[in-house]
Amino acid sequence: MTVPFGVATGTTALSGELTVPADARGVVAFAHGSGSSRRSPRNVAVARSLQDQRLATLLFDLLTAEEGSRDAATGELRFDIGLLAGRLVTAVDQLNGAATTRTLPLGLFGASTGAAAALVAAARRPELVKAVVSRGGRPDLAGAALTDVECPTLLIVGGQDSQVLRLNEQAARRLAGPCELEVVPGATHLFEEPGALEQVSDLAAGWFTRHL
């Protein structure tokens, strides 16, 4: 079952879609990456894989249409981790209060800069966020919040994404909770190589199934 799920932050309304499979055993909110939206084909593919494992998913826009247009021209908002994390925290709170998801353990899936937002949100809501998965993420952008993330965190990086791999290795050492770093051989930043995104989906599904 897929239903509209708006995320309201003050005067800002963000569009989203909540999919809840029958007998769902957890819910995962997605934070998309730089210059993307809830329709990111990579996040949609991962979400479908999670749904097959009886995990509910929330895909929503971190920016309004107007903000997205401004960001496309300037790139300024995609790196505003405080703004993005605040909106993700609001989504976490709304999922915790919604009738269909309030009893479900909750995880966060972040891509690129969205991974930093997911980690900051996990630090702000340690009682609610039970697991985090980062795909090609920039966890370094979470800054000091890394030392406050206590939930199990999986960092997935492409083997050919050398700069981001180094940043993930450094961030992994700062995380307070259990952390694993998985490298997908031969994959670049967007995991566009044959079979690469399927490996990401399998790793994410396994992590959330284990920890939610």
Look up the pTM and report it: 0.94
Going residue by residue through the chain (212 aa), what tens digit of pLDDT does each one get? 888 888 988 788 898 999 999 999 999 999 987 666 778 888 899 999 999 999 999 999 888 888 878 877 777 777 899 999 999 999 999 999 999 999 999 999 999 999 999 999 999 999 999 999 999 999 999 999 999 999 999 999 999 999 999 999 999 999 999 999 999 999 999 999 999 999 999 999 999 999 99
pLDDT at position 50: 97
pLDDT at position 34: 67
CATH number, position 79 = 3.40.50.1820
Which runs of E-coded beta strand occur in the chain? 2-4, 7-9, 12-14, 16-19, 26-31, 55-60, 106-111, 129-135, 153-158, 179-184
Task: Determine contact, residues 194/163, Cβ cutoff 8 Å.
Answer: no
Q: Which residues contact 176 (CB under 8 A, 6 or more apart)?
A: 146, 147, 148, 149, 150
Q: Which domain holds residue 196?
A: 2-211
Q: Among residues 18, 13, 121, 134, which one has the least CA distance to residue 63?
A: 13
pLDDT at position 35: 64
Residue 110 and residue 99: Cα distance in Å, rounded?
24
Q: Where are the alpha helices (DSSP H) in 34-112?
A: 41-52, 65-74, 81-97
Largest alpha-carbon pair distance within the chain? 44
Residue 80 and residue 25: Cα distance in Å, rounded?
32
3-state secondary structure (DSSP) of residue 32: coil
**Count of domains observed in the chain:** 1
Q: What are phi and psi of 22, to 5 degrees?
A: -60, 140
What token pair was written down for 150? 């206590």
**pLDDT tens for each residue of 67-106:** 878 877 777 777 899 999 999 999 999 999 999 999 999 9
Residue type, 137: G
pLDDT at position 109: 97
